[in-house]
Structure formats: structure tokens, C-alpha cells
Amino acid sequence: MYGITKSVDMQLALSPEHATIVPDATSMRDFLTLSLQAYWFAPPVALWRAVELRTAAQEEYPRPLLDLGCGDGLIAGLLFGPQGVDVGLDPWAEQVRRAARSGVYRWVQRADGGRMPYRDGTFAGVFSNSVLEHIPDVGPVLAEVKRVLKPGGRFFFTVPSDAFRRMLYYYRQRLDAGDEAGARAYADEVDTCLAHYHYHTPEEWADLLARAGLTLERARYYIPEPVEHLWDRMNHRFGVGRRSLWGLLVSPRLRPLGYQRILARWVISHFSRAWRPWYEMEVPEGGKGGGLLVVARKE
Ligand SMILES: C[S@@+](CC[C@H](N)C(=O)[O-])C[C@H]1O[C@@H](n2cnc3c(N)ncnc32)[C@H](O)[C@@H]1O
């Protein structure tokens, strides 16, 4: 546990119960520029995260709030601001240290989502961004979320959707060329690289949540197909996930040479203009996108 002296239970008792974080100030924010500032070294990551943040910012988050699988706290920082989240939890020690330094959380804890060190009914909200797809069996995590939520509490999570694989640009390209096996192999490669274990439909999520005693309230697709196409092509151009010239140029080891500040400024100003139409694009009514935001409730 980082940055606390008393137990989370005791401290949360002092937290403003029923207070709600309405990121409406944040929902108007330019998440594309903010994400590019944070992830200038990996522009396609910034694009995906910008659209994700714009989507997540349209929800209201009740406190006390837990960020499940908080990582380094960067995303929660952009969404909720300093001290905007009560507790961050992640099993990865280095990420937990970074999250503790981020100033976003009142407390940060190293623990697994399948065995959370909190009493029943501790939180009014649980937020989890891009986490569940990395956990092969989500059953124990969903059961724990239900347990740590107060009655009426809500669970907000984002995951890649059931349409993710077929919306990959190079999957589509291979399929259009009649190479079905090649398309599948490409999507498998992406799964391995990103450590994605599953892609569920909203109906499948409703079923998984119900088994844990949670009710799916709503599910909303984001990342329209043209955005995922651009993201996939740009991952190749920037060599994200493999060795590349770009990877070498942005390597932290070369930071002392000083040029990275100029490169970062160029990336931010260029892509915040060039990618704006994709950032603002909506999934067509009744259509699907590569990402899925789910809101569930504990009755
Ligand atoms: C792609 S990162 C997302 C981090 C952060 N939520 C964000 O949006 O930047 C996935 C995170 O899930 C965490 N994670 C993986 N398995 C987990 C588990 N069983 N319980 C909680 N977190 C887990 C990882 O340690 C990692 O920090």
C-alpha cells in the first residue's frame, strides 16, 4: 500500500459519501491533444485513448471510486484530475509506484482484482479502463466488484469489443484479398501482441455480469471502423509493439540528446490537427465500434 497510514476502510469513511464526479468540465476537454501530450512517443495509442476518454467522460462517477487495474494513473488523471479518484489498485508493482506518484489517487494499492483487500460495500463506483480483456477468467474479478460495491453502486468498464478483430485494417485487407486464414492469423498476432484474451458482445457481458450478481445497465460502442483502420495502420507506421526506427528515436535512453522535446511538440501539433476528424467521429446509430463501454449496477 502506498501513501497511506490508516486502513482504506477507515479513510474512506471520511470520503464524501454520495458525492458524484461529473466530468462535464472534462467532457468538453480536448482529449486528443491531452492524450498526444501524454503518449507523444506512441501516437496511435494516443488516438485510441483520446476516443476512449471522450466516451468515458460522458458518464457520472459516484464516490468513493475505485480504479481497478489503474496502471500508471495517466488515464484516470486525464479523466478525473488530481486527487480525483479515491483508490487505485493494480497487481503490477512498477505501475503501482507510478500511480502513487501521479497525484490522482488518495491511496494506491498493489493487489489482484480477483482478491481485493476491501470490505463488502466499500465503493459507490468502480472504474476499469482497458483491463478486463487482459484477464483470461473475469468471473472472480466481477464477483469481487459486486462484493466491494455498495447496493446501487455502479461498475464502469471499457474493453475492446466483439467487432475489434474484424475492424483491424490489415485483417480487412487480407479478407478482401480472399485470404481468410491470413486475416485470422493477423488478428491472432494482434491478440498475442496486446495480450487480449477475449472479446464479448454486450449480450455476453450481460450474462457474465448476471452470473456475478450485477445487472448490465447499458453498453455503448466507440472507436468507429475508420478510426480502428487508422489506428491499425499507424501502429505499423510507428512500429508500435516491435523494433523500429521510431522506437529508437523516442527511446528514453536518447532523451539526454535533447531533440525529443522538439519531436514531441511536432507530434502533438501535427496529429492534434490531422486526426481531429477521426477523434470526433461517432459510431453510426445501431452500428458497432472496436471499443465497448459497459455500465453495470449492483441491485
Ligand atoms: C492496458 S493496462 C490499463 C491501465 C489503466 N487502466 C489505463 O487505462 O491506462 C491494463 C492493466 O490491468 C492490470 N491488470 C492485469 N490483470 C489484472 C488483475 N487480475 N486485476 C487487476 N488489474 C489487472 C495490469 O497490471 C495493467 O496495469
Kindly report the CA angle at 229 between 227 and 230, in degrees rounded to 5?
A: 65
Domain that holds residue 137: 8-161+199-297
Choice among 17-31, 73-87, 148-162, 275-289 with the minimum mean pLDDT: 17-31
Contact, 64 vs 15, CB < 8 A? yes
**Residues 277 and 169 grouped into a single domain:** no
User: How far does the centroid of ligand 1 lie from the alpha carbon of residue 74, in Å?
Assistant: 12
- Band of pLDDT at residue 243, cut at 50, 70 and 90: confident
Average pLDDT over residues 185-202: 97
Residue whose CA lies nearest to ligand 1 atom number 8: 129
d(CA 35, CA 47): 7
d(CA 41, CA 61): 30
Question: What is the pLDDT of the chain when averaged over all its residues?
Answer: 93
Average pLDDT over residues 84-91: 98
Position 16 pLDDT exceeds 90: no
Ligand 1, residues 127, 134, 142: which to mutate, most atoms within 8 A of Cβ?
134
Contact, 162 vs 201, CB < 8 A? yes
Choice among 23-37, 86-100, 152-166, 201-215 with the minimum mean pLDDT: 23-37
The CB of 131 under 6 Å from ligand 1? The reply is yes
Position 62 pLDDT exceeds 60: yes
Choice among 4-13, 132-141, 169-178, 257-266 with the minimum mean pLDDT: 4-13
What's the confidence (pLDDT) of residue 27? 53
- Is 2 contained in some domain? no
Give residue 89's identity as a one-letter amino acid code: L
pTM of the model: 0.93
Residue whose CA lies nearest to ligand 1 atom number 10: 131
What's the confidence (pLDDT) of residue 8? 63
The CB of 160 under 6 Å from ligand 1? The reply is no
What's the confidence (pLDDT) of residue 12? 63
User: How far does the centroid of ligand 1 lie from the alpha carbon of residue 233, in Å?
Assistant: 25
d(CA 50, CA 42): 13
Nearest atom of ligand 1 to the alpha carbon of 158? 8
The CB of 77 under 6 Å from ligand 1? The reply is no
If one counts the domains in the chain, the total is 2
**Residues 221 and 281 grouped into a single domain:** yes
Average pLDDT over residues 3-29: 56
Average pLDDT over residues 63-90: 97
Q: Write the DSSP symbol of residue 16.
A: -
Choice among 66-75, 196-205, 243-252 with the minimum mean pLDDT: 243-252
Boundary of a domain, candidates 179, 198, 217: 198
User: How far does the centroid of ligand 1 lie from the alpha carbon of residue 199, in Å?
Assistant: 16
What is the percentage of the chain residues whose pLDDT exceeds 90? 88
Give residue 192's identity as a one-letter amino acid code: T
**Residues 292 and 210 grouped into a single domain:** yes
Average pLDDT over residues 73-99: 97
The CB of 97 under 6 Å from ligand 1? The reply is no
The CB of 69 under 6 Å from ligand 1? The reply is yes
Position 1 pLDDT exceeds 60: no
**Residues 50 and 188 grouped into a single domain:** no
**Residues 138 and 215 grouped into a single domain:** yes
d(CA 67, CA 195): 20
The CB of 135 under 6 Å from ligand 1? The reply is yes
Choice among 227-236, 242-251, 273-282 with the minimum mean pLDDT: 242-251
